[in-house]
A and B are shown apart, each in its own frame.
Chain A
């Protein structure tokens, strides 16, 4: 089912980069039931292309210096950058002035689309149906009130609000414009480097429900992973770190439109060459 159609993408979880490449090769390409799929020929992702250096890897200084980033992750990402330099690649700092707008833009647009995509769960066509209710409007209201969880309801309310008459221009239209600017800034970054490298998350996994009472803090956890879907580019998270407490975390790589083949091949190379030093 769709959450936010203009962001939704199949995300695969695999044990290694080769499996991710094989899967992507199979699921890519034209689809007679999906008009948004590209009809470009699909490259043989499962056959690695050689990593011929030196390549340029960009990192956003604000990301690495942000207050919310865990120290262990910050240290490890700097180490990865050093490992890349040691292997002969070029590491350079790139600017992302709109960093603070990533999460707000993402949440305005995704909740708008989600509020519409979830409309079919109305208790009549699909989803939970409240019992003992008479009348169509009461059936909708009761079914949706009882059937959806609080986080889903929060997003439907937010999305309905930003699309409402009187608020549409101030929220939805503005967020669309900022999304375009973010995409342009991201594409510009990728003109001067082959890949952008960031932490995948600001911290390691938090306990289920731990941030439910502070949704903004919870949404800010997404700060590094929303740039790729906002800009429409590919991204991959590589399990290249583990905290002293044993919690895993990822390093994220992003690349330009339709450059998945290079991204996957370089990811494979990084898994081999940027592994954490064994203590």
Chain B
């Protein structure tokens, strides 16, 4: 699309809806869970029974404050909720409780990588809290649409970006960054296939050099980050073709058809709803104190951008290494544990993203279920650094034992498998000779058949070496010397 890219510029803003990982729903105590039998997580409040009232989930507010801080947004101390009115079968109350004029967070930005890998700042418009609707199931019954209200009332946060995204790849990178961030924060699991993270793209096109925004289309139904990129790629071409033919772009909502990679019209603006927003009278406005905000901030873990900067600047890792370590929260968490037990930051990184990840992939194990501890892996690094075991031997022989949960320390495994290199054995031989030389009469008695005296030599040997040598190896060496005077 280079030829068209020279003439036309793509302008994209993304709206990301994220289901929050709260225990209960946004406005009642029903469990917030995915994958349960339809209509089992519903109380009269979720069902919108007349006479029921919403009660605000305070945890959802804390999560919104955390996201706001992570994205450099202004967190507002006073916000209220609003009703968005529309009729639909999966909306029991006939309105959605959301925020309209007073979103909890405004402004801010997110840093992403552009096409060239350079840092780029994407402005944020707002983030607001709202509730999810139920799910209409159109394919479960040949005649009727069925409705599952387990999702009704699940808390959502909607994060709206400025139209700062200029290429489909940037949209991909932005979403990857958002997903990484919310996973770090532990506020959303970011699973697009299950719909816990959903994205709508507002796409328009203009001639390069123009500054005004042209008529946009809103694209929905993209169930992966890759599909968001594909939908925007298609939409760019489509709108450019319209402009080339001199046709007007119609403001409309378009769906994405993944198999064909195309978008299609869903509804035009003339049919757009008038949502008749007004302040929700059933909920008191939210007033946050400085203490509330501080409490939410205290719950925030180190963020990937901060970790990345520290790994590059303070630990001297490469940009590649720092990226690999911070892409997933669990990897960074593990690395943080690991460098508590070793000062060799580079080796720690290499071991984690190299042999450890390789073992996990081969054995289909997730890092959080890995049996070897960071302390044990630090032990491997110490062994290698001391020249006692080669790195490849350690990876091939020692790591699998620790990973299967069988070993105690890397050193013990190395000794048990007799992997410790010669330098070490020489010391044991030397110590053994000295012990035997100190007891010439007992050595004589041993050679004459009193094999029980081996215990005496072992005891003396262990005293002398303060137990540092592997007993099995030592016992074998002592026997060898006694047998061959």
Contact = CB atoms under 8 A, between A and B. Distances in A.
Contacts of B45: 33
A247 interface: no
A126 B50 contact: yes
Interface class of chain A by DSSP: loop
B95 A35 contact: no
Interface string A1-21: 110111000000000000000
Given A113-B281, A116-B83, A124-B89, A36 B53 contact: yes
A136 B89 contact: yes
B92 A164 contact: no
A144 B53 CA distance: 23
A163 B95 CA distance: 13
B295 interface: no
Contact of B95 (A1, A32, A119, A125): A119
A35 B55 contact: yes
A203 B20 CA distance: 55
A36 B277 CA distance: 20
Contacts of B89: 124, 136
B31 interface: no
B360 to A, nearest CB: 46
Interface residues of B, number: 27
B52 interface: yes
Interface string B19-55: 0000000000000000000000000010111111111
A6 B278 CA distance: 12
A32 B184 CA distance: 32
Interface in A83-99: none
Interface string B151-179: 00000000000000000000000000000
A214 B461 CA distance: 112
B51 A36 contact: no
A122 B147 CA distance: 15
A27 interface: no
Chain A, interface size category, equals 20 to 34
Interface in A31-80: 32-36
B56 A35 contact: yes
Contacts of A120: 48, 50, 92-94
Contacts of A168: 276, 278
B85 A119 contact: yes
Contacts of A164: 274, 276
B102 to A, nearest CB: 14
A2 B278 contact: no
B193 interface: no
B283 interface: yes
A163 B85 contact: yes
A172 B93 CA distance: 21
Given A1-B51, A36-B282, 11 more contacts: A5-B282, A113-B281, A116-B83, A116-B85, A122-B94, A124-B89, A125-B47, A126-B49, A140-B87, A163-B277, A168-B278
Q: Nearest 9 CB-CB pairs, A to B? A: A119-B94, A6-B281, A1-B50, A5-B281, A163-B276, A35-B55, A165-B274, A120-B94, A34-B53
